[in-house]
């Protein structure tokens, strides 16, 4: 990168060039001139103590009311007791600039959590996007808004990665680190930023079709699982079907607190996420089956064969996803020298601990169902009653995990929240995304080594959700959804086991019977989590995991 390169003040629309040479440690050095310019600007802005002081009161009074309305806020169902500022860093000079803000949110009946809320603070003109409120600056005021709605702020973030910028905060530092996968900014324009919408616990911004910034609104303290996992998988080309890690924004507090605030990843061109693609395919399947049923009587005994015939292309794609998943798990077991990723044999103590945790989750889920039963939709009430009646049968299946220790299977790092929505459908197949694990689980649990069959069970539950979404309310298609779900599971599992059984370590039990028993337990684990999530966030959907739990309760000792 030449030091003579000039940049215009308008950063939208810039292009990127191929990755430049990088130092041996893989972290690119900032261009000195640009770094000085950004640091000087930020240093001048740090003198705006009035804004910093006003943000304390603004957080306590205004953000406490605003946060629960945000899609990314994970505290729905919990009452906020107080909101305070943990730390702030000025990202752009003056009251027409932006601030990186870390908040401590205290809940009435739950531990406090940290939230990352970058804000634009404008004393003139209207901010882009939703205005959170007005900031009292002692005789003057400024409008405060979500900074990720501001294209200029997003563009400056990319410049900060390019510069390798380090910002001083009131109680720590924010550092923008890039990897060899980061394509340096050209003398042209930054690719136009576009905030990606949708129901998610994070905020993502795409820069053209080159990079995607993923900001963690509820950052974990310590090692970020997604940054760690994508970095491991892309190192030395271990696994190609994931976005490459191009950079990360790190916060380091004076008290030793470390948090990853955002990661920068390569953009994946695709046909949409796997969930949306499968639903589109199922809509087409539904139409074909209806047409066929109206043309000729469909006997229940032939339903599976008809669905297999009509859905052959989709089932083939899901089989390939199974092979890809087996390859992912093999790649995650690739480095016995890395303590964070080295495979370990599953012990009897491991299976006992997993069974005990699931047993506890089963108890509290059933208690929740009893407490909320009257508030559930009528159909869900019937399913909940069936689940409660089958609680003992569900508890009895937990011993199925013992096969993992008996067959000396290995535990490895896993995706942790694996479902169709965590994939992108591309011309070449699928790409796997979002390695942060289930947001509701503690960070240490998300980084813990597990049986890879937990991921497999998550995908099987996703097939159930897809079938219920596409076919659940149609009497004319009764049985079609169940037939497709079972065929999809078989296609995926067949190919997964074919790859996983030849992995560098043992990932699956030796017999089909043992595999079925283990998967039943992990599907139970996932469905219990889904029930609790749906009751708190989407009560209209709770019938899907409840029906899944009921099926598991009547399967008997093995499938």
Please state the rounded mean pLDDT for residues 427-442.
Answer: 89
Place of tokens 């996420």: 273
For residue 236, pLDDT over 90 is answered with no
Compute the mean pLDDT over every residue in the chain, rounded to the nearest whole number: 87
pLDDT in the model for residue 293? 80
C-alpha angle 335-435-407 in degrees, rounded to nearest 5: 50
What are the helix (H) ranges across 311-347? 312-332
Residue 143, token pair as written in the block: 């409008």
Choice among 143-147, 324-328, 501-505 with the minimum mean pLDDT? 143-147
| Res 201: pLDDT | 83
Would you place residue 440 in the very low, low, confident or very high pLDDT band (cuts 50, 70, 90)?
A: confident
DSSP type of residue 209: T
- What domains are there in the chain, each with its CATH number? 1-267 (no CATH), 274-290+305-450+459-553 (3.90.1200.10)
Q: Which of 60-74, 125-139, 285-299, 542-556 has the lowest mean pLDDT?
A: 125-139
Q: pLDDT category, 423, cuts 50, 70, 90? A: very high
pLDDT for 474 equals: 72
Range name among 37-46, 273-282, 339-348, 497-506 with the lowest pLDDT average? 37-46
Specify the higher pLDDT residue, 220 or 94: 220
- Please give the average per-residue pLDDT across 344-363, as a whole number: 98
DSSP 479: T
Q: Is the pLDDT of residue 26 over 70?
A: no
- Where residue 96 falls among pLDDT bands split at 50, 70, 90? low
Predicted local confidence at residue 271, as pLDDT: 79
Q: Are 206 and 194 in contact (CB under 8 A)?
A: yes
- Quote the pLDDT of residue 24: 33
Ranking 35-49, 73-87, 184-198, 438-452 by mean pLDDT, the lowest is: 35-49
What are the φ and ψ backbone dihedral angles of 89, each rounded to 5 degrees? -135, 135
Question: Residue 299's pLDDT is what?
Answer: 76
Calculate mean pLDDT across residues 138-150. Answer: 85
Lookup result for tokens 């955002």: 262
Q: What CA–CA distance (Å, rounded) separates 183 from 189?
A: 13
* pLDDT single digits (tens) 494-552: 999 999 999 999 999 999 999 999 999 999 999 999 999 899 888 999 999 999 999 99
Which runs of E-coded beta strand occur in 223-315? Answer: 245-253, 258-266
> Long-range pairs for 489-494 at CB < 8 Å and ≥24 separation?
489/460, 489/463, 491/315, 491/316, 491/318, 491/319, 491/322, 492/318, 492/319, 492/321, 492/322, 492/325, 492/456, 492/459, 492/460, 492/463, 493/322, 493/456, 493/460, 494/319, 494/322
C-alpha 171/C-alpha 262 separation (Å) is 19
Q: Is the separation of the CB atoms in 33 and 207 below 8 Å?
A: no
User: Which pLDDT does position 19 carry in this prediction?
Assistant: 39
Alpha helices in 373-479 (DSSP H): 378-389, 391-396, 402-406, 443-447, 453-471
Q: Are 447 and 223 in contact (CB under 8 A)?
A: yes
Least confident of 39-53, 140-154, 416-430, 535-549: 39-53
Q: Which residue has the higher pLDDT, 24 or 173?
A: 173
Task: Quickly count: other Cβ atoms within 10 Å of residue 450's Cβ.
Answer: 20
Instruction: Name the packing angle between helices 378-389 and 348-372 (round to 10°).
Output: 140
Distances (CA, A) of 504 to 325, 335, 419, 431, 501: 15, 10, 24, 22, 9
Report how far residue 349's alpha carbon sits from residue 167's, in angstroms, rounded to the nearest whole number.
46
d(CA 549, CA 554): 9
Give residue-wise pLDDT tens across range 52-84. Answer: 888 999 999 999 999 998 988 876 667 899 999
The three-class DSSP label of residue 8 is coil
Integer angstrom CA distances of residue 409 from 53, 160, 343, 514, 559: 56, 45, 10, 12, 20
The pLDDT score that the predictor gives to residue 336 is 96
Cβ–Cβ under 8 Å, residues 214 and 198: no
| Contact predicate 389/400, CB 8 Å | no
Per-residue tokens: 93:
């000079």
H or E segment and range at residue 15: strand 14-16
Q: For the whole model, what pTM was predicted?
A: 0.86
Enumerate the β-bridge partners of residue 450: 412
- Top pLDDT among 356 and 140 is at 356
d(CA 400, CA 398): 5
Gyration radius of the chain's alpha carbons: 25
Q: Greater confidence, 449 or 19?
A: 449
Q: Which two tokens stand for residue 108?
A: 């009435």
Report d(CA 454, CA 140) in Å as an integer. Answer: 55
Query: How is residue 273 annotated by DSSP?
Result: B
Element holding 99 (H helix, E strand): strand 98-107
Q: Is the pLDDT of residue 194 over 80?
A: yes
């Amino acid at each position: 990168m030449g030091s003579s390169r000039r940049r215009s003040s308008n950063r939208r629309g810039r292009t990127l060039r191929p990755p430049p040479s990088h130092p041996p440690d893989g972290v690119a050095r900032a261009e000195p001139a640009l770094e000085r310019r950004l640091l000087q600007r930020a240093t001048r802005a740090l003198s705006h103590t009035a804004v910093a002081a006003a943000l304390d009161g603004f957080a306590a009074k205004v953000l406490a009311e605003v946060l629960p309305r945000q899609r990314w806020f994970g505290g729905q169902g919990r009452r906020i007791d107080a909101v305070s500022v943990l730390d702030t860093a000025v990202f752009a000079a003056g009251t027409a600039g932006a601030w990186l803000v870390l908040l401590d949110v205290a809940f009435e009946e739950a531990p406090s959590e940290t939230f990352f809320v970058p804000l634009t603070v404008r004393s003139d003109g209207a901010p882009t996007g939703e205005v959170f409120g007005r900031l009292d600056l002692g005789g003057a005021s400024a409008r405060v808004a979500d900074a990720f709605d501001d294209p200029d702020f997003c563009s400056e973030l990319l410049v900060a990665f390019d510069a390798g910028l380090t910002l001083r905060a009131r109680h720590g530092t924010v550092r923008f680190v890039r990897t060899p996968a980061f394509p340096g900014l050209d003398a042209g324009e930054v690719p136009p930023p576009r905030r990606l919408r949708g129901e998610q616990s994070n905020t993502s911004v795409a820069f053209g079709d080159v990079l995607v910034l993923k900001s963690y609104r509820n950052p974990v303290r310590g090692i970020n699982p997604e940054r760690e996992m994508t970095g491991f998988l892309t190192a030395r080309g271990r696994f190609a079907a994931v976005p490459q890690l191009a950079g990360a924004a790190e916060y380091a507090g004076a008290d030793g607190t470390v948090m990853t605030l955002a990661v920068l990843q390569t953009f994946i061109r695709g046909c949409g996420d796997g969930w949306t693609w499968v639903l589109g395919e199922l809509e087409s399947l539904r139409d074909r089956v209806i047409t066929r049923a109206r043309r000729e009587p469909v006997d229940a005994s032939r339903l599976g064969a008809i669905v297999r015939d009509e859905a052959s292309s989709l089932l083939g794609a899901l089989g390939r996803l199974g092979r890809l998943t087996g390859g992912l798990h093999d790649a995650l077991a690739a480095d016995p020298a890395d303590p964070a990723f080295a495979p370990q044999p599953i012990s009897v103590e491991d299976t006992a601990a997993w069974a005990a945790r699931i047993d506890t989750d089963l108890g509290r889920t059933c208690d929740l169902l009893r407490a909320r039963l009257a508030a559930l939709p009528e159909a869900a009430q019937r399913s909940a009653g069936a689940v409660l009646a089958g609680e003992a049968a569900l508890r009895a299946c937990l011993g199925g995990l013992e096969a993992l220790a008996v067959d000396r299977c290995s535990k490895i790092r896993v995706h942790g929240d694996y479902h169709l929505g965590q994939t992108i459908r591309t011309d070449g197949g699928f790409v796997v995304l979002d390695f942060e694990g289930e947001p509701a689980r503690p960070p240490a649990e998300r980084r813990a080594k597990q049986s890879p069959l937990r991921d497999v069970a998550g995908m099987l539950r996703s097939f159930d959700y897809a079938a219920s979404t596409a076919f659940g309310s149609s009497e004319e298609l009764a049985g079609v959804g169940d037939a497709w779900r079972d065929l999809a599971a078989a296609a995926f599992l067949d190919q997964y086991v074919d790859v996983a059984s030849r992995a560098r370590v043992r990932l699956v039990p030796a017999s089909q019977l043992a595999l079925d028993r283990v998967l039943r337990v992990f599907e139970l684990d996932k469905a219990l989590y889904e029930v609790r999530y749906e009751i708190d966030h989407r009560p209209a959907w709770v019938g899907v995991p409840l029906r899944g739990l009921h099926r598991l309760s009547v399967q008997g000792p093995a499938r």
